[in-house]
Chain A
């Protein structure tokens, strides 16, 4: 009976996280079209509902009623499992994300490692989708994307090593708590190079502009998901936007104090204590989601060899040198890198 209760509890918690997540994904697509529209002096979607507010719902209905076309000579089994492999890890990661000081589905000790392990799985979706569709463009897109994801994953992992050295823990709640003390004690300042690298590598990991060579409309049509339609395409779409939200919330947790208030230790602190942590983490995450959309509207696409050079020859050395310096700082107990 007791185990049944915990089971129901966990199930409810999952629903509390996943249903709003899908809604946020839907409205991230809407806000992307609106924001980029405004940045380019267009209106964006306007037809469905007031100011096009029901556009994402119409899109969902459209995608779910379309046929899933399987190309001839495609590897049917892998073709259909690739979107699932893409989607499942990006959903699973949310089980360890702390959304407020009290709410996290599973507060595991090795949370940071768990996230790294799961985010490294989504590359299979891309590779298999490209290979199984039996199409040149899809295969080219998946090859590009896989090489890019591997290159940036290393820089990303090293940036997180810097965070865990400063926090002294792999647990995400403890990482947030170790950043206590207001806006300037969050890790974005003491770990500034790692923060920039993590953010850029995160954008590259999600295959977003300006690193979206795996889609590259002008060169390879739509990259690895060119042969997908209907629900299968919707899953890729969902996974992409879920990854954007995930990277935004991870940047918030690792470098921007998660659910902490930015006014701690300042005269403004007492005026803002009534705001719950969930609001803070949401506001910060929404800012980074906006950054993703802003970059897409602003920057042109990188050339492929420049992406590789940036990943391997610029980011990797910077992270290694910074981790070395940070280690020295921590050894000689120099703040703000050393906490305890």
Chain B
């Protein structure tokens, strides 16, 4: 139990520090890496809540795939920090309003939620023993099947639209036809020319 509390505080501290780092560090690559650490620490916190499937999926999907692409893009971009920071004072009040409203809503929601709950959410869906992954799969494919399928359709739509958007510029496409390449042979490519004039 003591170890769990220690782990919680260490990773909660990491989470807060790295989240602050994401928005304050000037170097975009470094702030992306801070976001990676933030995801990682929150995955550890979820693990402490016995949500092992969700925490591992958070690392697998967000850290292992999404953030890699993020980092990819950020590295390629040449971001001018001073330009991006322009008008900080001008937009500060709007940011403050957004911050206060989000923080207020979230804390209101959490306060109400934890007042009324019996803190036994995990045991409620405990149908097939203590294995969290199996429970989650069971609930997803029975009770929430419709929401699950809708989410899958939305993702499919996202994939298709992303592909169609990138495939619009046909002129820049340097596609190589693999069957054409494989079928290339010596007869078509090579021809021996006899140079009679400069014969050695």
Contacts and interface: CB of A to CB of B under 8 A. Distances in A.
Contacts of A3: 2-3
A127 interface: yes
A110 B53 contact: yes
Contacts of A170: 133
Contacts of A295: none
B56 A150 contact: no
B64 A127 contact: no
A29 to B, nearest CB: 28
A231 B131 CA distance: 42
Contacts of A316: none
Given A3-B2, A121-B63, A123-B64, A131 B36 contact: no
A309 B178 CA distance: 9
A96 to B, nearest CB: 11
Contacts of A121: 59, 63-64
Nearest to A127: B71
A120 B64 contact: yes
B59 A120 contact: yes
Interface string A43-55: 0000000000000
A75 B60 CA distance: 27
Nearest to B176: A305
B68 A124 contact: yes
A75 B28 CA distance: 13
B68 A150 contact: yes
B12 interface: no
B83 to A, nearest CB: 21
Nearest to B29: A131
A51 to B, nearest CB: 42
A150 B75 contact: no
B72 interface: yes
A139 B33 CA distance: 17
Interface string A107-145: 011100110111011011001100100000001000100
A120 B33 contact: no
Interface in A48-70: none
A143 B133 CA distance: 34
A8 B178 CA distance: 58
A34 to B, nearest CB: 35
Contacts of A113: 53, 56-57, 60, 133
Interface in A86-116: 108-110, 113-114, 116
Given A124-B36, A127-B68, A108 B52 contact: yes
A120 B65 contact: yes
A124 B52 CA distance: 23
Interface string A247-287: 00000000000000000000000000000000000000000
A78 B33 contact: yes
A110 B57 CA distance: 11
Interface in A212-260: none
A176 B163 CA distance: 40
Interface string A299-321: 00000011001000000000000
A146 interface: yes
A128 B33 contact: yes
Contact of A116 (B27, B29, B60, B132): B60
Nearest to A123: B68
The 7 closest A-B pairs by CB, nearest first: A120-B64, A117-B59, A117-B60, A113-B56, A117-B56, A110-B52, A109-B131
Interface of A: 3, 75, 78, 108-110, 113-114, 116-118, 120-121, 123-124, 127-128, 131, 139, 143, 146, 150, 153, 170, 305-306, 309
